[in-house]
Structure 1
Amino acid sequence: MILSPFEWTIAKRYMLPGRSEAFIAIVAGISLVAVMLGVAALVIVMSVMNGFRAELFDKIVGLNGHAIIQAYGGRLDNWQDVLTQVRKTPGVTHASPLIEQPMFTTFNGRSEGILVRGNLPGDIAALKDKLKDGSLADLRPGAENVAIGSRLAQNLGAQVGDTITIINPQGRSTPFGTVPRQIAYRVAAIFEIGVYDYDESFVVMPVRDAQTLLLTGDTIGMIEVTTNDPDHVERILAPLERQLAGKAVVTDWKTINASLFEALAVERVAMFVVLSIIVLVAVFNILSSLIMLVRAKTRDIAILRTMGATRGSLLKIFVTTGFIIGALGTLAGVIMGFVFLYFRQPIVHGVEILTGQNLWDPSIRFLTELPSRTDPVEVAVICVLALVLSFLATLYPAFKAASTDPVQVLRYE
């Protein structure tokens, strides 16, 4: 919609009403602010929800792989053959043996429930980016060294170099009953995954040490699998699942974390719908301000009509006036949303200081920090939604102005 110089001049004049129309200017300003807040809220919430999903996926799947192959009974005896078979499956990029078993640990009178993980040296080295203290190179088979999560180290009061005791309730049988197996391990490294539950419970050691601790011999509990397309992992592993039928069960990340990711997906859609109502309310403000502007300018519109202004010109003038309010509000909302997301962590800390409340408890939120990942496509959809609603809100007042009959208005002038 291209405006002539005359139409653009009138539109700019109506966007900045005079003193006699101060109330209209206030309503228009409120409309702009409302659109800005609605768009900013949508950008912030959708980015945070995307950040939640992405961070949880990266941390959970990055640690556990895209799928787990677990033998019936918890022990995979011929795991070398199965591992070779898995690695030959098209689409599988990585597969490694894994032992995972809940245990108990004590240190200086403190005790915590833990989850012992036995990994190959290559998988242990992948924790290098998560390392907070110590050295992963010390986790050699037979060295009886372990790496523990940062929250677990904090709960136990343990540091690198300290010795913790890991207790296996399924110990050796004796004439006096089952004696729990207790082995002392040196803390060689402390890591932080970023997921509270993991950092609070994980103890990582070489597979051979885990087998010794669990008295399982040369067996493992499961095989961790990574594919080239996590979204289609079930299709990639379908042939393997048929081959292992009756021996082991294949469980992908979607099944393991189904309740969590489905809840996030439902909440994401619900938040988008609810927050879109804010933009809709802002658009009604644009509608009301334009209606008041048309009523206040009825005489001016009639004079413009007698001077030769067409209905189409008046239509474009008022559509432009309302649409620019919506466009400016949308632009300001996107900028405000990005600024909030950039400083989100300091803002959270500031609100916590002002209210005295812990707004981000990692034990409840899973993640240690407020995540954010902005999707340009979603931002574009939000902007288009706000602009389309703003445009639709201008149509009724614009048609009302264009249908003004100058004869009826100026009859008694």
Structure 2
Amino acid sequence: MKAVCLATAGLPAYIGGSCQPDQTSPCLILSPFEWTIAKRYMLPGRGEAFIALVAGISLVAVMLGVAALVIVMSVMNGFRAELFDKIVGLNGHAIVQAYGGRLENWREVLKQVEATPDVTRASPLIEQPLLGSLNGRVEAVFARGNTQADIQRLAPKVKAGSIAGVTPDSGNVAIGSQLAQNIGARVGDKITIINPQGQSTPFGTVPREISYNIAAIFEIGIYDYDERFVVMPLLDAQTLLLSGDTVGMIEVQVTDPDNVQQILEPVRQRLGGQAVVTDWRTINASLFEALAVERVAMFVVLSIIVLVAVFNILSSLIMLVRAKTRDIAILRTMGASRKSLLKIFVTIGFVIGALGTVAGLVLGLIFLFFRQSIVRGVEIVTGQNLWDPSIRFLTELPSRSDPFEIAVICGMALVFSFLATLYPALRAASTDPVQVLRYE
């Protein structure tokens, strides 16, 4: 590959194909001479093992920094996306809830919500904290009354039994997997739901107890839901709670969750004083805000690792320039231009950074692909539970890689690597051969 020079006339002589200092038009790529010198300096020679070691450490440091950023940002994105998909998938993008907890004219409100532009689905819902009992074990539960269509949406999450049997007046319910584990329940067992607000008698209020057959056990993937939810038909929930023909709320899904407030503003105005409209941001505000802050903080902290890595590139290049001062002076006396020396040392440092970036990207993607196996392996070795669903909300370590973010991480590493090469490259280019070779 010959050097590409823009001068069209009076081309000076080449030293192995490099452009001369008096050439006014810059070279666009490395000439064979420059690339040969760059490759020679990148490979360790005798007495240069320490420089090669520092360069290798620089490459590994860049690799680890990029891999850490890719892994952490993908896990954070996955955590937020999984929480959003599962929480919103179960509760909708917003809820319309009456003051006092009971929506009397819910059918009329439901029609108004469904007629609102950009609303894709609206469903009545009952959700009430109660007690569940089986074989003497008592747990706090959430009795959740859904329409038949909403109950069937749980079918992909069913781990045992069949959700098709959960129909009105069938006496069947579906419970979360963690709740089933806590009370020792299996498909076919009977769970007793206790409503403290039962019927009034001359001797006081008698709690209402109704036994239901467990037809299905589901796992949503969010620990709190799997530990508490008992899903039943809407009509059965109304009977259990003695609420008559009322519902607790209406869950709403829209085309654009990020603009849910603007989409439901007409509903909020029409139902002013009668019901309150709460969107997913308000319901889970503390959780998603904490995730956003943690995501930014982790990016900044882990970016420092990449910055430290490029300082290693800087130090290795400085040592290389000092070790090659005599060679640089000889090249200058033979006609090598300052620009050629600048390009040579910039190339050396940039190649180290680029190789580290590519290796880090590959390492990060491999870790993400085998993330669950790696977590289990570390748990076996350390004997510690690294991913406790009761603390982490989700049952498995999530991951969702954003190509734009990965491109930003790689671009940042490459830019830092390039900037780290400028100072030692300028030092090499400014070497005075007369001063260096005076006493040779």
TM-score (structure 2 length as normaliser): 0.93
Could you say which residue in structure 2 is the equivalent of 1:93? 120
Match of 1:257 in 2: 284
Q: Which amino acid aligns with 2:387?
A: W
User: What's the counterpart of residue 240 of structure 1?
Assistant: 267
| 1:324 aligned partner, one-letter code | V
Question: Of the candidates 369, 373, 388, which is equivalent to residue 396 of structure 2?
Answer: 369
2:187 corresponds to 1:184? no
User: Residue 190 of structure 2 aligns to which amino acid in structure 1?
Assistant: T
Quote how far apart the aligned CAs of 1:135 are: 1.1
Equivalent residue number for residue 198 of structure 1: 225
Is 1:69 aligned to residue 116 of structure 2?
Answer: no
* CA deviations over 1:290-340 (Å, ceiling 9, x no partner): 000000000000000011100000000000000000000000000000000
Map of 1:228 onto structure 2: 255
1:84 aligns with 2:134: no
Find 1:33's aligned residue among 60, 81, 89.
Answer: 60
> What amino acid does structure 2 have at the position aligned with 1:84?
K
Shift of 1:274: 0.2
Letter in 2 for 1:247: Q
Q: Deviations over 1:21-45 (max 9, x none)?
A: 1100000000000000000000000
Q: CA deviation at 1:140?
A: 1.1
Cα distance in structure 2, aligned partners of 1:105 and 1:22 = 70
Partners of 2:383 and 2:132 in 1: CA distance? 34
Looking at structure 2, the residues matched to 306 and 111 of structure 1 have their Cα atoms a distance apart, in angstroms, of 90
Give the structure with higher Rg (CA): 2
Matched, 1:143 2:170: yes
Distance of 1:231 and 1:76 partners within structure 2? 26
Match of 1:214 in 2: 241
Moved over 3 A (4+): none
**How do residues 306-385 of structure 1 correspond to structure 2 at under 5 angstroms?**
306-385=333-412
Q: Deviations over 1:261-307 (max 9, x none)?
A: 00000000000000000000000000000000000000000000011
CA distance in 2, matches of 1:66, 1:203: 21
For residues 281-292 of structure 1, what are the structure 2 equivalents within 5 Å? 281-292=308-319
Amino acid at match of 2:74: S
Distance in structure 2 (CA, Å) of the matches to 1:85 and 1:138: 31
Distance (whole Å) between structure 2 residues aligned to residue 398 and residue 184 of structure 1: 80
Aligned counterpart, 1:5? 32
Q: Deviations over 1:60-116 (max 9, x none)?
A: 000000000000000000000000000000010000000000000110011100001
Report SS of the residue matched to 1:93: strand
The structural deviation recorded for 1:139 is 1.0
Using the size of structure 1 for normalisation, the TM-score is 1.00
Amino acid at match of 2:131: F
What's the counterpart of residue 432 of structure 2? 405
Give, in whole Å, the separation in 2 of the partners of 1:384 and 1:376: 12
Partner residue of 2:190?
Answer: 163
* Paired AA for residue 319 in structure 1: V
SS at match of 1:404: coil
Question: How much does 1:19 deviate?
Answer: 2.0
Q: Of Structure 1 and Structure 2, which has the larger fraction of its residues in helix? A: 1
Q: Separation in 2 of the partners of 1:272 and 1:374?
A: 14
1:242-267, CA deviations, whole angstroms, 9 ceiling, x for partnerless residues? Answer: 11100000000000000000000000
Alignment partner for residue 305 of structure 2, among 278, 285, 297?
Answer: 278
Equivalent residue, structure 1, for 2:19: none
Give the 3-state SS of the residue equivalent to 2:200 in structure 1.
strand
How far, CA to CA, are the matches of 1:378 and 1:172 in structure 2?
58
Give me the whole-angstrom Cα distance separating, in 2, the residues matched to 1:71 and 1:135. Answer: 33
Mapped partners of 1:391, 1:270: distance in 2: 25
How many pairs does the alignment contain? 413
1:118 is aligned to 2:162: no
**For 2:180 and 2:320, how far apart are their aligned partners in 1?**
66
Query: Matches of 2:251 and 2:161 in 1, distance apart?
Result: 26
SS of 1:263's partner is: helix
Q: Which moved more, 1:312-321 or 1:135-144?
A: 135-144
Please identify, of 14-23 and 83-92, the stretch whose mean Cα deviation from structure 2 is larger. Answer: 14-23
The share of aligned pairs that are identical, in percent, is 78
Please give the alpha-carbon distance, in whole angstroms, between the structure 2 residues aligned to 1:269 and 1:222.
35
The Cα shift of 1:17 comes to 2.3
Partner in structure 2 of residue 58 of structure 1: 85
Please list, as runs of the form range in 1=range in 2, the aligned pairs for 1:288-307 lying within 5 A after superposition: 288-307=315-334
Structure 1: distance between partners of 2:248 and 2:171: 20
Match in the other structure for 1:23: 50
What runs of 5+ residues in structure 1 fail to find an aligned partner?
A: none
Inter-partner Cα distance in structure 2 for 1:195 and 1:409: 69
